[in-house]
C-alpha cells in the first residue's frame, strides 16, 4: 500500500496502475498518464481569482462582524418545539 502521496506524484511509474492508495474515502488505484513540471504563475494569470478570493474573504469578515454586533445588541433565544403528539396531549396546537 502506498502511503506517501508526494512520492507517488514524483516517482510513480508512468503508464502503470499504482495502488492501493489510502484516503479519507477509502483505498484507490490510480493511473499516471504523464507528468509535467509545475511553475509559479504570474500575477496576471491569477489576478481575477485573487481578487474574487479577497472579496469573498472580506464579505465573510464583514458579515461576521455584523452578526457579532447584532448578537451583542439583542438577546437571542431558541425555543425547541415539542413533537405534535406532546402538544396535543397538553392541549396545545
β-pairing verdict for 17-23 and 26-31: antiparallel
Q: Which residue has the cell 499516471?
A: 32
**pLDDT tens, residue by residue, 29-55:** 989 898 888 889 999 999 999 999 999
- What does the chain come to in residues? 93
pLDDT of residue 73: 92
Write phi, then psi, for 15 (nearest 5 degrees). Answer: 65, 35
The pLDDT confidence band at residue 83, using thresholds 50, 70 and 90, is: confident
On the question of pLDDT at 58 being above 90, the answer is yes
Helix/strand number for the chain, H first, E second: 3, 2
Amino acid at each position: 500500500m502506498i502511503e506517501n502521496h508526494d512520492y507517488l506524484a514524483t516517482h510513480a511509474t508512468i503508464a502503470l496502475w499504482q495502488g492501493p492508495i489510502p484516503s479519507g474515502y477509502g483505498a484507490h488505484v490510480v493511473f499516471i498518464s504523464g507528468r509535467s513540471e509545475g511553475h509559479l504563475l504570474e500575477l496576471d494569470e491569477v489576478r481575477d481569482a485573487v481578487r474574487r478570493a479577497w472579496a469573498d474573504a472580506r464579505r465573510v469578515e464583514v458579515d461576521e462582524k455584523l452578526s457579532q454586533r447584532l448578537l451583542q445588541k439583542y438577546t437571542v433565544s431558541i425555543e425547541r418545539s415539542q413533537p405534535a403528539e406532546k402538544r396535543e396531549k397538553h392541549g396545545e396546537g
